[in-house]
Amino acid sequence: MEPQKHIVTAASTKSVEMARKVWPFVKNDYESGHQWKKEGKPVVWSCALVEKEIYYAMDVYPFFPEQFAALCAVRRRGGTRDPNVEKEGVRFSRIAEANGYPSYLCGYHRVGVGYVINGDLEDAPLGGMPRPDFMVTSSTACDVRFKWFEDMARRLEVPLYVLDRPERHEFGFITRRPEQRALDYYKIQLEDCFKFIENVTGHSFSADKLNEVMDWSYRLNELAQEILELRRATPCPMSCADEFTLMYPWMYKAGTKAAYDFYRQLRDEIQERVAKRIGVVPEEKFRLMWIGLPNWFNMAVMNYFEQYGGVFVRSPEYRALPYPARNPDDPVGELAYRYLFAGYGAYGMLNNIEEIIQDCRDYRIDGAVLSYLITCRPHAYRQGEVKHILEDLDIPCVSVEGDLVDERTYAESQVKNRLDGMAELILRKKGLQ
């Protein structure tokens, strides 16, 4: 895979002040993790979809190779802004490919493995991820997470635990109680994971500590739901450009007071913007949905429609569904129930389409961009069916092909032509052109 010449990729323009505070938050988190490791405390590399409460309850500092790969997609070696220097995501992908990993593999996978093969874990943005004492991954969501983590754990000679998760594919999952056999099975998986961490680290499991962490996590989720409700307003107070930027505290620090405090400030800012009718653009003309994970190396595409008065008001990728009631007498069982009730274990094609249809109504969507990630099968496989559903709803949509973190797949002129065409179609349809 050869690099395209003169690709113009950039960070997104932020519409809310708290989005500008995420980068300091991330830098501080990495610095704290490195200090934690220097003090001889345990570090885990974890699949991003594993419940974060596990680690904060066990006094283990987590790092997430998926997030690290996204970081590499936007940073160049040494922190330079020189466009002649490749992004770190491309550099590590090249290392993986030179060692026999094909370019059609998941970009996260190639970056993570290339980073480990490179050998110097500090030769990376923010000093890289501290060397792990162990790894935890899951069977959830895609077909590379198990083998990818197994590969990295083998190369770094650290133990690995795999959470085997039952998955549910029922229509209308929000209203359905998890099957008892699935609940029992996953609770055992979580209990075994806690025992594994105890054996590796010497840290003892405490139900009281887990309950404390769960309290912060639930409060954070309530804030995230409030923010989603506020974003239904017209004009929209916060775009998907901000949403994807702001996901770090919510997704990776759930269970901590720091994440709750950050999102409380964000909620307050969004409330104020709604009350004062402050939107993303001076005159909002149409509302858009971004379906799929973004191309992290070019988040500026999230702002592209703003020149036409269009705003990405919603993406279904980061969901903040209502959690079931707390059960402090059995926090491990509660964690299992929550995952099956409102997590990826309650997900599937029909559920995904149901949610998108509801979001189109709730957020008054006029058009959608489908992120067709050619190296991410779990996201790519569904986009054809989603496109048909949107067409049945008379919602214009367009596909954008690419990789999560490797900009060599990105065709800039093609993308812009498609987006221009869709903007003109929506404006004509609404009688604005």
Question: Closest Cα partner for 277 from 237, 231, 226?
Answer: 237
Q: What is the pLDDT at residue 178?
A: 77
| Cross-strand bridge partners of residue 134 | 44
Could you give the residue ranges of the DSSP H alpha helices within 62-204? 65-74, 88-98, 107-118, 145-156, 180-201
Q: Is residue 395 part of a domain?
A: yes
**Is the pLDDT at 215 greater than 60, yes or no?**
yes
Whether omega before 65 lies within 30 degrees of 0, making that bond cis, reads: no
Q: Is residue 121 part of a domain?
A: yes
φ/ψ of residue 41, rounded to 5: -90, 155
pLDDT tens profile 374-412: 888 777 777 888 899 999 999 999 999 989 999 998 888
**Angstrom distance (rounded) from CA 341 to CA 167:** 10
pLDDT band at residue 2, thresholds of 50, 70 and 90? Answer: very low
State which residues form the domain around 130: 17-429
Helix (H, G, I), strand (E, B), or coil: what is residue 15? Answer: coil
**Angstrom distance (rounded) from CA 433 to CA 430:** 8
Q: Is residue 301 part of a domain?
A: yes
> Which residues does 102 contact at the CB level (< 8 Å), separation at least 6?
none
Whether omega before 235 lies within 30 degrees of 0, making that bond cis, reads: yes
**Is the pLDDT at 290 greater than 70, yes or no?**
yes
Question: Closest Cα partner for 66 from 86, 49, 91, 52?
Answer: 49
pLDDT band at residue 173, thresholds of 50, 70 and 90? Answer: very low
pLDDT band at residue 207, thresholds of 50, 70 and 90? Answer: very high
pLDDT tens profile 297-307: 999 999 999 99
84 DSSP 8-state letter:
T
Q: Is residue 328 part of a domain?
A: yes
pLDDT band at residue 6, thresholds of 50, 70 and 90? Answer: very low
pLDDT tens profile 315-352: 988 777 788 889 999 999 999 998 887 765 555 566 67
- For residue 291, what is the enclosing H or E element? strand 286-291
pLDDT band at residue 170, thresholds of 50, 70 and 90? Answer: low
**Angstrom distance (rounded) from CA 344 to CA 179:** 15
pLDDT band at residue 12, thresholds of 50, 70 and 90? Answer: confident
- For residue 286, what is the enclosing H or E element? strand 286-291
Q: What is the pLDDT at residue 7?
A: 42
Mean pLDDT of 140-168: 90
Q: What is the pLDDT at residue 344?
A: 59
Q: How many CB atoms lie within 10 A of CB 190?
A: 20
pLDDT tens profile 354-373: 888 999 999 999 999 999 88
Distances (CA, A) of 75 to 141, 296, 376, 407: 27, 11, 21, 12
Q: What is the pLDDT at residue 5?
A: 40
Range in 171-180, 191-200, 247-256 the model is least confident about: 171-180
**Angstrom distance (rounded) from CA 56 to CA 51:** 10
The tally of domains found in the chain comes to 1
Q: Is residue 142 part of a domain?
A: yes
Rounded to the nearest integer, the mean pLDDT of the chain is 91
**Angstrom distance (rounded) from CA 365 to CA 311:** 10
Q: Is residue 195 part of a domain?
A: yes
22 DSSP 8-state letter:
H
Q: What is the pLDDT at residue 176?
A: 60
- For residue 137, what is the enclosing H or E element? strand 134-138
166 DSSP 8-state letter:
-
Answer positive or negative: Cα dihedral of 186, 189, 190, 191. positive
Cβ atoms of 220 and 259 within 8 Å: the answer is: yes
187 or 348, which is more confident: 187
**Angstrom distance (rounded) from CA 167 to CA 200:** 28
Joined together, the tokens standing for residue 240 give 């998907």
Rounded to two decimals, the pTM is: 0.93
Q: Is residue 2 part of a domain?
A: no
Do you know the residue count of the chain? 433
Provide, rounded to the nearest whole percent, the portion of the chain with pLDDT above 90.
Answer: 75
The counts of H helices and E strands in the chain are 15, 8
Q: Is residue 5 part of a domain?
A: no
* Tokens 């680690």 -> residue: 55
Cβ atoms of 77 and 85 within 8 Å: the answer is: yes
9 or 6, which is more confident: 9
Q: What is the pLDDT at residue 4?
A: 41
Mean pLDDT of 220-235: 96
